[in-house]
Homo-oligomer: A and B are copies of this chain.
């Protein structure tokens, strides 16, 4: 705990995930004073046909 979920479109690189996992965990550890071992980050990737904004699928806008 805390558990962080980042919901985003598919297609990001391993390097982007590596950087985000490290930076977000550092921000939470610094700000909330928790043990880094207790911080979990999940990347929840969605294909663009499974995301919509303003009623239009991302794969079609």
Contacts and interface: CB of A to CB of B under 8 A. Distances in A.
Interface of A: 1-9, 12, 14, 16-28, 31-32, 36-37, 39-46, 49-60
Stoichiometry, as copies per complex, reads: 6
Nearest to A41: B52
Contacts of A25: 52, 54-55
15 contacts: A1-B53, A2-B7, A3-B6, A4-B4, A17-B52, A18-B60, A19-B27, A20-B31, A22-B55, A26-B55, A39-B53, A40-B51, A42-B46, A43-B46, A43-B50
Contact of A28 (B20, B31, B46): B20
B55 A36 contact: yes
